[in-house]
């Protein structure tokens, strides 16, 4: 239990606070529209669907405020650097940015569904009320606005039968049209974000995700039509709806019940999202500026298993272990940017990435760099590339522990190439100040002279270990220690290691504790 709190406690607290705020906003605005005096007549028209539409709208504003922040990578890197004095547990929350981004996106989808369904019922009721022949309260309220000096409550101003009336309202009003557009954008963004699409058709995911620009533009102007209307404050002072509703056929004839006046709610969404939108615009400007800086490919090295290495130089480029960059190659695609972990160490005079051929883009870059040719390639023939980054990850905290476990699956070993190289350089140059105590105990087992990933004589340990034995052995050798466990690999392995960290940690705060960290980008 103690290590569960150590590993997951702060994350669970953050999620609970976020969920609590969603519940609070939903309930607060539901009561505001369900009990508010100014919406007395609006509820006569719409019934319970008024509050059911407006409550999720408030939650949508809140979550749309949050959804861009976890993908502002420069902001996160700045926060990681400025929080260097904070505990590792605090900084680890920044490494779960994409997980939180996905949770917020699903919450947006949930509230969008509730909001849309409620408004479909609202439109149906408004169209039916507009076509009502009898002098019901709904018909009287719907007719308001037809005469001079009156303000309308029912925004369906034409007498059209359903479903034609519903379609007319959906595609001729600003709120209806923008609602259709942003809902379609959201559906495309979410469906193209599934793991299958991301891995097999990355370009589809990449391009459809940028529909968020249209989504936010539509979101900001969605409420400008002010279709949700309530009784004005001035009208409430002279027209008490709870009393005057009994004499709705005599409105305007009785001094105590003049014709009620209505106005729309001013749009509020822009107040919620303008801050994150400005932050994101600055984020993109910074990334664009950095991507325009000249990058020189100094060396291309082919490795086994369809993997190749690019060694590069860029003026003013500074990195830390485990960080990653985004790479674009105009010769392959003018629009696509792909993330790659840096495999060089900060102590080296170049930075490098290892790329495995797994799709059209990586294959195109491979051929553009001449990796499919056996003869030596001249440097001037190498393609131009753009680099954005570096950006921080969990691996930056590797030197915060005296003992660490580095676990990589497949190409996931690349983040730790940078770590292992940096450990070697630090041990050679400044072993006294190196917090890690086993720099000289890397397992040497491969027949090759050097490791194929790191280039070091100390080889990476390959294969599928018995995790229970590994954790028990390391835990017994390092009692009373906080051991950092770092993974770059699939979710299934992450779940296994996270459970191992919890089950093999002592309940006693003075005992051994395994702290789980996972790469996300």
411 Cβ neighbours under 8 A, 6+ residues apart: 307, 354, 356
Mapped onto helix, strand or coil, the DSSP state of residue 205 is helix
Radius of gyration for the chain, computed over Cα atoms and rounded to the nearest angstrom: 30
Place of tokens 């900084």: 91
367 assigned to some structural domain: yes
Q: What percent of the chain has pLDDT over 90?
A: 23
Task: Give 508 or 314, the one with higher predicted confidence.
Answer: 314
Determine phi and psi for 274, rounding to 5 degrees: -65, -40
Q: What sign does the dihedral 195-284-90-407 (CA atoms) show?
A: positive
The answer to whether 2 and 508 have CB atoms below 8 angstroms apart is yes
Distance between CA atoms of residues 97 and 13, nearest Å: 15
Q: Give the pair of three-digit tokens for residue 34.
A: 């369900």
Distance between CA atoms of residues 37 and 231, nearest Å: 8
Where residue 348 sits, what CATH number does that domain have?
Answer: 2.40.30.10
Quick one: pLDDT band at residue 253, thresholds 50, 70, 90? Answer: confident
Domain identity same for 420 and 349 = no
Domain identity same for 262 and 151 = yes
Domain identity same for 512 and 468 = yes
Determine phi and psi for 453, rounding to 5 degrees: -95, -55
Mapped onto helix, strand or coil, the DSSP state of residue 228 is coil
Distance between CA atoms of residues 160 and 167, nearest Å: 10
pLDDT(441) > 60: no
362 assigned to some structural domain: yes
How much is the pLDDT for 430? 61
How much is the pLDDT for 278? 92
Q: Give the pair of three-digit tokens for residue 203.
A: 């370009």
Domain identity same for 279 and 300 = no
H or E stretch at 283:
helix 269-291
The answer to whether 395 and 322 have CB atoms below 8 angstroms apart is yes
Q: Give the pair of three-digit tokens for residue 135.
A: 């002098």
Supply the range of the domain harboring residue 346. Answer: 293-391
Task: Give 22 or 306, the one with higher predicted confidence.
Answer: 22
Q: Give the pair of three-digit tokens for residue 121.
A: 């019922």
Most confident of 128-137, 178-187, 287-296, 487-496: 178-187
The answer to whether 303 and 326 have CB atoms below 8 angstroms apart is no
How much is the pLDDT for 413? 67
How much is the pLDDT for 54? 93
pLDDT(350) > 80: yes
Alpha carbon 166 to its chain's center: 34
- For the ranges 62-76, 300-314, 447-461, which has the lowest average pLDDT? 447-461
Distance between CA atoms of residues 519 and 256, nearest Å: 68
Domain identity same for 346 and 470 = no
216 Cβ neighbours under 8 A, 6+ residues apart: 64, 273, 277
208 assigned to some structural domain: no
pLDDT(495) > 70: yes
- Over range 275-293, report the average pLDDT: 88
How much is the pLDDT for 460? 55
314 assigned to some structural domain: yes
H or E stretch at 176:
helix 174-191
The answer to whether 98 and 68 have CB atoms below 8 angstroms apart is no
Distance between CA atoms of residues 52 and 218, nearest Å: 21
DSSP assignment of 429-456 = HHGGG---S-TT------SSSS-TTT--
Candidates 1, 71, 59; CA nearest to 30 is 59
416 Cβ neighbours under 8 A, 6+ residues apart: 322, 395, 406, 408, 460, 486, 488
Where residue 446 sits, what CATH number does that domain have?
Answer: 3.40.50.80
Domain identity same for 366 and 493 = no
Q: How many residues does the chain have?
A: 521
Quick one: pLDDT band at residue 442, thresholds 50, 70, 90? Answer: very low
Domain identity same for 439 and 513 = yes
Domain identity same for 342 and 255 = no
Distance between CA atoms of residues 107 and 113, nearest Å: 10
- Over range 1-21, report the average pLDDT: 77
Domain identity same for 283 and 429 = no
Domain identity same for 241 and 316 = no
439 assigned to some structural domain: yes
Task: Give 23 or 470, the one with higher predicted confidence.
Answer: 23
H or E stretch at 58:
helix 49-67
413 Cβ neighbours under 8 A, 6+ residues apart: 453, 460, 488
Domain identity same for 400 and 386 = no
> How many C-beta atoms lie closer than 10 Å to residue 453's C-beta?
22
Domain identity same for 250 and 356 = no
Place of tokens 């991301």: 198
| Domain's final residue, options 366, 391, 416 | 391
Mapped onto helix, strand or coil, the DSSP state of residue 238 is helix
How much is the pLDDT for 65? 93
pLDDT tens-digit profile of 59-88?
999 999 999 998 888 888 777 765 555 556
Quick one: pLDDT band at residue 216, thresholds 50, 70, 90? Answer: very high
């Amino acid at each position: 239990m103690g290590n569960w709190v150590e590993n997951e406690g702060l994350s669970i607290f953050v999620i609970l606070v976020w969920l609590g705020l969603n519940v609070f906003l939903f309930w607060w605005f539901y009561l505001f529209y369900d009990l508010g005096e100014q919406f007395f007549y609006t509820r006569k028209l719409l019934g319970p669907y008024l509050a059911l539409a407006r409550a999720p709208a408030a939650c949508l504003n809140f979550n749309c405020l949050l959804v861009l922040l976890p993908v502002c990578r420069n902001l996160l890197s700045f926060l990681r650097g400025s929080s260097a004095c904070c505990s590792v547990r605090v900084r680890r929350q920044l490494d779960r940015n994409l997980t939180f981004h996905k949770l917020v996106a699903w919450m947006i989808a949930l509230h969008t569904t509730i909001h849309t369904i409620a408004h479909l019922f609202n439109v149906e009721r408004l169209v039916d009320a507009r076509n009502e022949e009898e002098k019901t309260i709904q018909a009287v309220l719907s007719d308001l606005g037809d005469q001079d000096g009156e303000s309308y409550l029912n925004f369906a101003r034409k007498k059209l039968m359903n479903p034609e009336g519903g379609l007319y309202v959906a595609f001729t009003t600003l709120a209806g049209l923008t609602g259709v557009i942003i809902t379609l954008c959201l559906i495309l963004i979410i469906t193209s974000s599934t793991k299958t699409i991301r891995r097999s058709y990355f370009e589809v995911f990449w391009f459809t995700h940028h529909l968020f620009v249209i989504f936010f533009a539509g979101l900001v102007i969605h409420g400008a039509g002010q279709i949700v209307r309530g009784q004005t404050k001035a009208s409430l002072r002279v027209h008490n709806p709870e009393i005057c509703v009994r004499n709705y056929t005599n409105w305007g004839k009785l001094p105590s019940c003049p014709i009620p006046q209505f106005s729309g709610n001013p749009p509020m969404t822009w107040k919620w999202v303008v801050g994150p939108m400005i932050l994101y615009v600055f984020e993109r400007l910074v990334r664009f500026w950095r991507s325009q800086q000249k990058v020189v490919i100094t060396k291309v090295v082919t490795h086994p298993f369809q993997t190749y290495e690019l060694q590069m130089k860029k003026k003013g480029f500074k990195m830390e272990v485990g960080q990653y960059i985004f790479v674009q190659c105009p010769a392959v695609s003018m629009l696509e940017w792909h993330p790659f972990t840096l495999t060089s160490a900060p102590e080296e005079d170049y930075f490098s990435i290892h790329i495995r051929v797994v799709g059209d883009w990586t294959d195109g870059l491979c051929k553009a760099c001449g990796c499919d040719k056996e003869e030596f390639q001249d440097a001037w023939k190498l393609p131009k590339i753009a680099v954005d980054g570096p950006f921080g990850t969990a691996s930056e905290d590797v030197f915060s522990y005296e003992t660490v476990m580095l676990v990589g699956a497949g190409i996931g070993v690349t983040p730790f190439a940078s770590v292992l190289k940096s450990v070697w350089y630090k041990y050679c140059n400044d072993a006294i100040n190196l917090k890690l105590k086993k720099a000289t105990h890397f397992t040497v087992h491969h027949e090759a002279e050097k490791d194929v990933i790191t280039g070091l004589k100390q080889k990476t340990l390959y294969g599928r270990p018995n995790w229970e034995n590994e954790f028990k052995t390391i835990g017994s050798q390092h009692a009373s220690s906080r051991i950092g466990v770092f993974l770059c690999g699939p979710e299934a392995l992450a779940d296994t290691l996270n459970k191992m960290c919890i089950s093999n940690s002592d309940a006693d705060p003075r005992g051994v504790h395994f702290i789980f960290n996972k790469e996300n980008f």
